């Protein structure tokens, strides 16, 4: 998690947007059973509306509501 946060926080490996606007904190972290599921999960989260993302962060809704198999996704924070 620390490596990924550092990559997105102004390093040359981060996206142009995150280099100019570095993240200040990690709001939520989930773990998955493999990179394929993680990529699908990331795509699903990016498609959510901001209000749904905030509800997800505040644990008002679960990722399984949008993604499906809850056995493959675990919240770490």
* Mean pLDDT by groups of 10 residues along the chain of 77 residues: 69 73 79 82 87 89 69 60
Q: Residue 67's pLDDT is what?
A: 67
Answer whether 0.75 is exceeded by the pTM: no
* Residue 51, number of CB atoms within 10 A of its CB: 8
Q: Residue 14's pLDDT is what?
A: 67
Angle of CA points 10, 34, 13, to nearest 5°: 15
Q: Residue 51's pLDDT is what?
A: 93
């Amino acid at each position: 998690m620390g490596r990924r946060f550092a990559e997105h926080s102004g390093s040359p490996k981060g996206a142009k947007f995150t280099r100019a606007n570095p993240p200040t904190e990690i709001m939520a972290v989930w773990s998955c059973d493999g990179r394929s599921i993680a990529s699908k999960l990331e795509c699903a989260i990016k498609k959510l509306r901001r209000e749904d993302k905030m509800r997800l962060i505040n644990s008002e809704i679960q990722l399984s509501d949008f993604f499906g198999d809850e056995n493959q996704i675990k919240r770490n924070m």
